[in-house]
Structure 1
Amino acid sequence: MTNIQDIIDRLTASLEPIPNSVDTLTFGTPGTEVKGIAVTFMATQQVLEQSVQLGANLVITHEGIFYSHRDGTKPLYADDVVYESKKWYIERMGVAVYRYHDYWHRFQPDGIMEGLIQSLGWQEHVTENLPAATLVTLPPMKLEHVIGDIKKKLGIRFLRAVGDLSLACSRIGLLVGYRGAGENVIPLFSKYNLDLIIYGEGPEWETPEYVRDAVHAGKSNALIVLGHMESEQPGMRLLADRLGKWYPAIPVHYLPVDSVFRLA
């Protein structure tokens, strides 16, 4: 019998303990036998319902389920109907929910980044893995073609970009999730002579505005913003694949979520 604690131990065994980690068993008990596993970027209400339908009693989610990086022990939205109904559903259906965020990012290479690189098919082009970024060198490709390639490979309907669409891009830096702050991104352009940076999410008044000014000054710089989920979801698909290999007797389901935003 494989219980929930066995799964958690396998996911964290190769790394040093992380103080104050957000990776916690939010619902459920460690000794419960695992009948099925659902892996997702975000345990939305829809994902939870799908998990129950599939017979998965353990949901592994990358992001917190209650709309905050740290869900904490006290409800952030006491008496809120959305919060209360979601909590009620999880408890009523007996679903265990494990947040797997910090440890997956600590893998070498970062598990989330590795999933994105694989989905883009850029494994052979990686030149360096930095603590918060990965550098790749591609054959020169116009920015508009890079955008089209990413949309096709990741199944993204739209992207946001800054820069000349005809710019030839070769040296590229990738940052997943919420790593798009200026302090993380801007130094990479000059230090590593990058043409293009691709990240998930970041303050819009920092890196995008830097690239705007750089382009105006005649520099060959560009930026593509994938979206937080869009940059990290491939890493959770990779995790589901690994769990399926580790536990062949347990059904493992990868449950993707759609972009939360729509063009209006």
Structure 2
Amino acid sequence: MKITVQDLIHHLTAHVELRENTVDQLISGSMEQLVTGVIVTFMPSQHVIEQAIHQGANLIIAHEPPFYNHHSHTEWLTEDPVYQTKRSLIEKAGIAIYRCHDSIHQIQPDGITEGLIQALGWSSYVVQRKPEADIISFDDHMTVQRIAEHIKRTLGVEYVRIAGSLEMTCKRAAVLVGFRGNGNLTIPLLHNETLDLIIAGEGFEWETPEYIRDAVQQGKQKALIMMGHAESEAAGMKLLAARLDQAFPRLPVHFVGEQPVYKVL
């Protein structure tokens, strides 16, 4: 059976109502294009595009955009050589790129958060699912250090950033993926949900980290683990790849990851 880009997009959006200003869109290629294979990824980097070409896949489903801004605007990049080279590679290879951002966050439970929770092996610890976070209840022996080491080991990441005491015991935590680590989300959660720990992707450094610093100075038992944006969301796209593989068994579907963008010296 022939499968088009439109067929895949319809499957991804069938159970959600995208808002008018959604960033989910077909960035390259056409809806009528017949799909030879699918690469699912967090970020459609140069490496990922090269891997798609190598594997004979002509559709990339990515959580983030290929051209360095949230709304996929490219007018400001037209003379940039990095943009030109990447755009040319995509066009010459005939690759369609679909951004799957809002829809995967809108499904219940949030597809990106669910992927991270499953990857960490914490499904049985979830006591509440909120739109922006999963609330986790740990046993009596989970310290900040043990949790951080578990995150690094299970996700294969080299480092996380921590505010607060490594020895602090954590009974309740919130897990927030991507750019949900800002104070307007985390601070009410800490108070309203009686949390010890925030585990987030990233956020403004002058908000949640500074709140944690002041809380610790006041003698309150609070801590923060920042994982990194990609590190918190890639597992969700990997879960999506597995689900698409089941939904389209005759279509080659593969997840392609990337190396961490930063090196720590």
TM-score, normalised with respect to structure 2:
0.98
Task: Provide the C-alpha distance between the structure 2 equivalents of 1:103 and 1:61, rounded to a whole number of angstroms.
Answer: 12
Tell me the residue number matched to 2:107. 107
Match of 1:137 in 2: 137
Q: Distance in 2 between matches of 1:17 and 1:37?
A: 22
Q: How far does residue 78 in structure 1 lie from its aligned partner after superposition?
A: 2.1
1:164-179 equivalences under 5 Å are: 164-179=165-180
Question: What secondary structure, in the 3-state scheme, does the structure 1 residue paired with 2:137 have?
Answer: strand
Cα distance in 2 between the residues matched to 1:80 and 1:13: 37
Q: CA deviation at 1:190?
A: 1.3
Within 5 A, what are the aligned runs for 1:163-242? 163-242=164-243
Amino acid at match of 1:87: R
Unaligned 5+ segments in structure 1 are: none
Q: Which runs of 5+ in 2 are unaligned?
A: none
- Helix, strand or coil for the counterpart of 1:166? coil
Aligned residue-pair number = 263
Aligned residue type for 1:183: N
Amino acid at match of 2:240: L
Give CA-to-partner distance per residue, 1:9-28, whole Å, 9 cap, x none: 01000112321111111100
* Equivalence for 1:75: 75
1:64 corresponding residue in structure 2: 65
CA contact (8 A) 2:52 2:58 kept: yes
Partner of 2:82, secondary structure, is helix
Whole-Å Cα distance in 2 between the matches of residues 242 and 75 of structure 1? 35
Give TM-score, length-normalised by structure 1: 0.98
SS of aligned partner of 2:24: coil
Corresponding position of 1:243:
244
* RMSD over aligned Cα atoms: 0.8
Percent identity of equivalent pairs: 46
